[in-house]
Structure 1
């Protein structure tokens, strides 16, 4: 049993790496904080209208995750904070801050609405990083690595690229709205990045076409897929069926769903994905 990693975060600064991305730097409260590796996922909690910070139950010493989550669900809906999943883009151990990138995809979602108006002094809550969310991806295999994602997974991809061992070959296909959304991907590995511009096409359509048309390297060690859930499933089917990659070599996560939010119930396809991911990590 371990104390639940629940913290309050205070906004220090906000800037726009691209027109559709807000990078928010948060000050961490006093205490120990370290990242176990790249692609560290957290849950962020956003206040309801009229609140200056999210209303969450205080965790008891040694309380289990499910008991605390049940206490959260017991908060009346009009007061219960919205929850969304994110990857920490960076951690500055000296300044004791973390960076989180928000995709500003429109005014409809609570996270995008909050990020579009974020300013220093505002407060969110964070659960994690935690072993509950860990999905390690092997970066030290014998062959080249494959990455394919959209902009929602670009923060995670950035941390993975930064963690590549020197000399490791990697190929990435990244779908974004247009050329103005490119971001630098820096590390010690040998990365070949292909930027795919969505334009007015449905999410994932041009990313899938680009991967299908690509001359993939022989004998890739592993593949990492993340982004819109339906596009991720199509990419995975392509790699397993057409490219004959072993099932165990293809790591995948649906970050978001067209026309559905994290507040909506999982679909049968979502549940099937979750069962496979849980089976792999168990």
Structure 2
């Protein structure tokens, strides 16, 4: 991952920034890069104060000493500049490597950040009285309309958590592809979003086709972002931000269903720290 990409992701997304700040070595590398850049901006080229002998016709020892000192000062300045540039670039390279080296820590932090978003979404959706579309909300009355309007900032926060997750996963194309179906192209049909997708839609990975080649599968969730979020927090879906280790375990469970039952039992135990959070999508 390049430093500019990390910088852009952090500048636009507070969830990404908060997760990044938890990584080992981040604070030191960030402080070093910032200080080196500041010192580079403060470097000042030395100037000569004595007039040239060409204007006076006299070559003095004082002038020779001044020239020697000036050239030494220029040499020192370039040495400082080179050292600071090297230090800054090394610190930036370190920062760029952290989201890859410690991807599971970042993903775990984002998974934790998802929990309050889901919790808030569920509290708000309780006021919808079962409505899940704008038309149904209008029919449900004033309280439901108010609740629906309160969903917008929560849905926006959910989207930011996902954007931060995808920024991390951008460096792991194989894992991202394995989390999807090679047949089903629905953008939300992914292990990256819902932990129990196999339960929600058992045929999502390998949907059948009719005689015309069309997929015989329909998404259990709505297409609209707000309606999808309502579905997510009110259904049996278990939204999560999985770590790479959890994704790997999930793929292993599919290959070995018996072992998968054991693993799922452990994951679902509320006393474990790896249980997927029920968060909104």
| TM-score, normalised relative to structure 2 | 0.24
| Higher RCO, Cα 8 Å, sep 6+ | 2
- The structure richer in helix per residue is 2
| TM-score, normalised relative to structure 1 | 0.24
- The structure richer in strand per residue is 1
